Amino acid sequence: MRHQLECIGCRAQYPSSYTACACSSCGDLLEVTYDFNDLRESVDVSAWKSRPPSVWKYEQLLPIDGASMKITLGEGGTTLHRTTRLGELLGVKKLNVKNEGENPTGSFKDRGMTVGVSRAVEVKAKKVICASTGNTSASLAAYAAKAGLECIVIIPQGKIALGKLVQAIAHGARVIQLEVYFDDALRAVLTVVKSNPKLYLLNSVNPYRVEGQKTLAYEIWDQLEGDIPDTVIVPVGNAGNISAIWKGFQDLQEIGMISHPPRMIGIQAQGASPVTEAFKTGRSEIIPIQHPETIATAIKIGSPASWKKALRAVRDSGGIMEAVTDDEILAAQRLLARLEGVFVEPASASSIAGMKKLIEVGLVGADERVTCVVTGHGLKDPEIVSQMFEKPRTVKAGQLEFLLS
Ligand code: F0G
């Protein structure tokens, strides 16, 4: 679809041929913009109904030329679970959980990566790169493999879950570990990309990735037949996804498909919660955390790159930012697995933990229609399970009858 790029700070505009991820005059992030007057007329919602679930069925609202090659592994179309048992226990009557762990590489990143890597191919990039707490690297490695691109992933050494590292290696990415936190790894990558234009950056500061991820909002609209929730709760790390989902709901409003968007609630881990701090203290900027700490390694981020977009999403939607402890996260992971059969990694469970906390203090009501987004599959981080859940007993075969009587 025809589009432009616009700086979120100084509002400078760039044509779609612009390939950098930052504004050349003020350095702020960019976002993709469309002519909604045009789109209001041309978006064919009936086609949405007739096509099978997929990120690409929303192609009319994506910034890739119709004739360009789409690098796809079958992303999107994840289940929106009606979670009555969990809702009853926590005290909210209409609760849905959107399970992004069902995507091809097991996380929501695939929605962004199918669009981001298609864009890389469109602009004739040959090498793609990202810094990652794990899932971005797994996803980029897979899509780069599919596209036949060289892939480099930079990870903070010893700070990413085993399942994700294994994926990046399996898909043939060149994996480089740095002895730093994620924030410094991303900073290093941004510096390298600036001096080497042959490297195409695919972190969520790339506005094309955000476009793919916004389709989660369209899908919720589709799955609930237009009856969108009052509140959407999302785990927050580098802060790209909450910004993306908010953008998706804003698009729906722009083209007249919803009268008002839901409020967005972002949840961070207590030891890595600079956006929550800024929200609660009413500051307009975050204060980065030097040494973020949480067992939820995917969101162990002290200086989220998209903090400005996320704060805007939460404030403009009348939402909230909240933080949860590691114990609250692990308890939520367990509840979701045992009451609903949905197994997610710790970072993903932060949305459930945050909702529980907000119900307890009356900031989420019993009659509110809530959708929690869970972002990555539980098998990504098997070590945490073997630490936190009880281990199986070993007995002699002859003891079985007695044991089970
Ligand atoms: N949940 C999971 C499972 C994640 O992997 C991430 C981010 C988030 C939530 C937070 O999303 O960054 O858009 O606010 N993972 C990134 C990575 C940072 O490198 O894989 P966000």
pLDDT tens digits for 162-183? 999 999 999 999 999 999 999 9
Locate the ligand 1 atom nearest the alpha carbon of residue 266 and give its number. Answer: 14
Instruction: Report residue 133's pLDDT band, with 50, 70 and 90 as the boundaries.
Output: very high
- Residue with CA closest to ligand 1 atom 9: 235
pLDDT at 386 over 80: no
Mutational test site, ligand 1, from 234, 241, 379, max ligand atoms within 8 Å of CB: 241
pLDDT at 107 over 90: yes
**Is 237 near ligand 1, meaning CB less than 6 Å away?**
yes
Work out the average pLDDT over 45-68.
92
For residues 45 and 157, the model is more confident at 157
Give pTM, 2 decimals.
0.97
| pLDDT for res 387 | 76
Mutational test site, ligand 1, from 97, 102, 107, 234, max ligand atoms within 8 Å of CB: 107
Work out the average pLDDT over 351-368.
98
| pLDDT for res 48 | 86
pLDDT at 389 over 80: no
CA distance 351 to 41: 36
pLDDT at 210 over 80: yes
| Sheet of strand 94-99: strand arrangement | 80-82, 94-99, 369-374, 231-235, 263-269, 320-324
| pLDDT for res 147 | 98
- Residue with CA closest to ligand 1 atom 10: 237
Q: Indicate the pairing of strand 199-201 with strand 231-235.
A: unpaired
Note the pLDDT tens digit of each residue in 12-52.
999 999 999 999 999 999 999 999 998 998 998 888 888 99
**Is 238 near ligand 1, meaning CB less than 6 Å away?**
yes
Work out the average pLDDT over 237-257.
97
In this structure, what token pair is assigned to residue 344? 């997610």
Reported for 190-194, long-range contacts at CB under 8 A and 24+ positions apart, including other chains, are 192/129, 193/21, 193/129
Helix or strand or coil: residue 235?
strand
In this structure, what token pair is assigned to residue 347? 């970072």
| pLDDT for res 224 | 97
CA distance 121 to 127: 10
| pLDDT for res 137 | 98
